[in-house]
Amino acid sequence: MIRVVLPFHLRRLARLEDEVQLEIEGPVTQRAVLDALEARYPVLRGTLRDHLTRQRRPFIRFFACQEDVTHLAPDSPLPEAVAAGAEPFLIIGAIAGG
């Protein structure tokens, strides 16, 4: 079970109280996590990635195991601790603006 923590505004948008738990078949990658998240919560489509290009929105960052994994290739494996559910995959709204 993969654990995903969303930023405040997206938790409210998806009507979530806490972190999300997702089942992912196959390799646990950034792309697989986001695909599974959007499949379960379609309202999040377009809020993390562009609808068409699937590119990350500029002010969205990804962290895991104390590391910035934003720029990992979308199909690179995420840390084993994330794949095992021991550590969450953190989606962060960049700290900018008001």
Partner 1 sequence: MSKARVLVGTRKGAFILTSDGKRKRWKVRGPHFTGWEVYHIKGSPADPNRLYASQTSGWFGQVIQRSNDGGETWEAPGGGPVVLPGGMPSGESNRFVYDTSPETGKPLTTHQWYDGTQHPWEFKRVWHLEPSLHDPDTVYAGVEDAALFRSTDGAKSWHELAGLRGHDTGPKWQPGAGGMCLHTILLDPSDAGRIYVAISAAGAFRSADSGQTWQPINRGLRSNYIPDPNADVGHCVHHVAKHSSRPDVLFMQKHWDVMRSDDAGDSWHEVSGNLPTDFGFAIDVHAHEPETIYVVPIKSDSEHFPPDGKLRVYRSRTGGNEWEPLTKGLPQRNCYVNVLRDAMAVDSLDECGVYFGTTGGQVYVSPDGGDSWSAIVRDLPPVLSVEVQTLP
Binding site for partner 1 (CB under 8 A): 7-10, 12-15, 38-43, 45-48, 51-52, 57, 59-60, 93-94, 97
Closest approach, Cβ 28 to partner 1, in A, equals 18
Strand order in the sheet with 2-5: 20-22, 2-5, 89-93, 60-64, 67-68
Q: Which is nearer to partner 1, 46 or 85 (CB)?
A: 46
Write the CA distances from 3 to 15, 33, 91, integer angstroms. 16, 9, 11
Q: Which is nearer to partner 1, 13 or 65 (CB)?
A: 13
Closest approach, Cβ 10 to partner 1, in A, equals 6
The answer to whether 15 and 44 are in contact (CB under 8 A) is: no
The answer to whether 33 and 41 are in contact (CB under 8 A) is: no
Q: Which is nearer to partner 1, 60 or 69 (CB)?
A: 60
Closest approach, Cβ 66 to partner 1, in A, equals 22
